């Protein structure tokens, strides 16, 4: 069967079956109409369901009756003795022992700022909003866009505890002496540029390149730099690694997530 937890104060809902095959995140409406998650459960054809109500509004007899009316026969509603304290207790337990949570859902997306070849979409966006910045790459003999957002994690994405996400980049020019990676967060999963609304710069790392790094390569793309995001219980670490030199720099920030 399925267990569904409804926090009647924050309205966050997580649904998962025993195999972890159904994973639905939804938000209650501001009124007390039929919660969308239960409608989705009906659409999935689920018949064995336990609903746990928690949070201050879980005491409401009207809310409890509306949820019960929405359920099919064989589905049950459970209410803790003190539903408000149940939420607080869970928060305290997580604060004291965050390792008890194995996965969390990102409330924000996280990524870094990069530069790449200019596109028609860049031209359209620049004509409307004045960004991204356009500049001519003398080595590549073409135009590039600065301030492009490169996503590592999307808003709402499930992130496992201690998960490491790796992407690879390379210097822009042969004369470059360092690479700066700026860490950004955004609630917008379709964001393309770091100048967009709700985009926030959180931190940056500066990786020094060794003297003469480009001497023995023909293309800058041959010089790979690994960028990692490490997701801990409450901290996100941005790490830039020069694999050829075994050199690395890192910065830590707090990250926002919901329990999975």
pTM for this one?
A: 0.67
| Domain 106-259, second-level architecture | Sandwich (2.60)
pLDDT of 79: 78
CATH 3.30.420 range(s) for the chain read 2-96
Chain segment 71-129, per-residue pLDDT in tens? 767 677 777 777 767 666 666 566 666 656 677 888 999 999 999 999 999 999 999 99
CATH 2.60.34.10 range(s) for the chain read 106-259
Query: Per-residue DSSP letters for the chain?
Result: -EEEEEETTT-EEEEE-TTS--EEEEE--SSSS--HHHHHHHHHT---EEEEEESGGGG-HHHHHHHHHHSPTT-EEE--SSHHHHHHHHHHHHHH-GGG--EEEESSEEEEEEEEE--HHHHHHHHHH--SEEEEETTTTEEEEEEEEEEEE-TT-EEETTEEEEEEE--SSTT--EEEEEEEEES-TT--BTTSTT-EEEEEEEEEPPTTTTTT-SSGGGS-EEEEEEE-SSEEEEEEEETTTTEEEEEEEE--EEE-
Class of the 2-96 domain? Answer: alpha beta
């Amino acid at each position: 069967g399925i267990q569904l937890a409804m926090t009647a104060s924050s309205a966050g809902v997580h649904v998962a079956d025993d195999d972890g095959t159904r994973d639905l995140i939804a938000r209650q409406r501001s009124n007390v109409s039929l919660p969308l998650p239960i409608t989705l459960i009906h659409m999935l054809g689920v018949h064995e369901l336990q609903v746990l109500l928690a949070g201050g509004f879980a005491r409401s007899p009207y809310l409890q009756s509306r949820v019960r009316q929405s359920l099919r026969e064989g589905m049950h509603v459970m209410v803790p003795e003190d539903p408000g304290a149940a939420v607080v207790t869970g928060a305290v337990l997580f604060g004291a022992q965050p390792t008890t949570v194995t996965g969390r859902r990102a409330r924000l997306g996280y990524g870094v700022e990069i530069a790449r070849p200019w596109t028609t979409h860049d031209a359209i966006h620049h004509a409307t909003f004045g960004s991204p910045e356009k500049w001519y790459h003398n080595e590549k003999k073409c135009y590039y866009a600065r301030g492009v957002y490169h996503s590592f994690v999307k808003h709402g994405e499930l992130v496992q505890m201690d998960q490491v996400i790796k992407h690879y980049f390379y210097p822009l020019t042969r004369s470059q002496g360092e690479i700066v990676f700026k860490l950004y967060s955004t609630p917008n999963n379709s964001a393309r540029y770091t100048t967009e609304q709700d985009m926030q710069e959180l931190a940056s790392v500066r990786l020094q390149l060794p003297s003469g790094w480009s001497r023995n390569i023909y293309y800058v793309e041959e010089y790979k730099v690994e960028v990692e995001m490490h997701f801990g219980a409450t901290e996100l670490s941005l790490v830039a690694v020069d694999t050829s030199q075994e050199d690395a720099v890192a910065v830590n920030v707090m990250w926002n997530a919901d329990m999975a």
